């Protein structure tokens, strides 16, 4: 399992896989992995040729009264879980790699649906901004606060 730190490294890995005719699936996370995340990795492995997991505590997903610094982190434990689940690549960037100084491009997701309802734009827009930089063919995500692990597949 490789650990990549910059969007350029991940893009290079993804493009090499595509040149070989392989499909890349992504499981975007903010780390501190639980059973729900592991179920997404398993679902991704069953549908894609290669599985990438991002571990990125995205500062844009925190509101003004939420404490980014207190969000739980366990990168070594997360890497161990990814390795045990058969993940091919973990993308674990620092915030500056994802949002460099002067960054001004943002994605807005309108009317995003999952089975049973709609996502909140406050949750989905920041997640989408991080995910689209990673250029997956598919992303597997949990509905917000779904720790049981009901995977939802998004196609890009």
Report d(CA 152, CA 4) in Å as an integer.
25
Phi, psi of 20 (to 5 degrees): -85, 5
CB 97 within 8 A of CB 119: no
Q: How far apart are CA 129 and CA 134, in angstroms?
A: 9
The active-site residue, picked from 34, 37, 103, 144, is 37
Told to judge if 37 belongs to the known catalytic residues of this protein, a careful annotator would answer yes
Catalytic residue numbers, as ranges:
37
């Amino acid at each position: 399992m490789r650990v990549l730190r910059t969007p350029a490294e991940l893009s290079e890995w993804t493009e090499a896989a595509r040149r070989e005719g392989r499909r890349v699936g992504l499981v975007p996370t903010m780390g501190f992995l639980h059973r729900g995340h592991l179920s997404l990795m398993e679902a991704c492995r069953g549908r894609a040729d290669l599985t990438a997991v991002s571990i990125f505590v995205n500062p844009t997903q925190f509101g003004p009264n939420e404490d980014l610094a207190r969000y739980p982190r366990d990168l070594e434990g997360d890497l161990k879980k990814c390795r045990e689940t058969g993940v091919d690549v973990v993308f674990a960037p620092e915030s500056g790699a994802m949002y460099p100084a002067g960054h001004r491009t943002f994605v807005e997701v309108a009317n995003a649906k999952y089975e049973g309802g709609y996502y909140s734009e406050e949750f989905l827009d920041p997640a989408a901004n991080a995910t689209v930089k990673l250029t997956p063919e598919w992303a597997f995500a949990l509905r917000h606060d779904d720790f049981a692990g009901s995977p939802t597949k998004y196609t890009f």
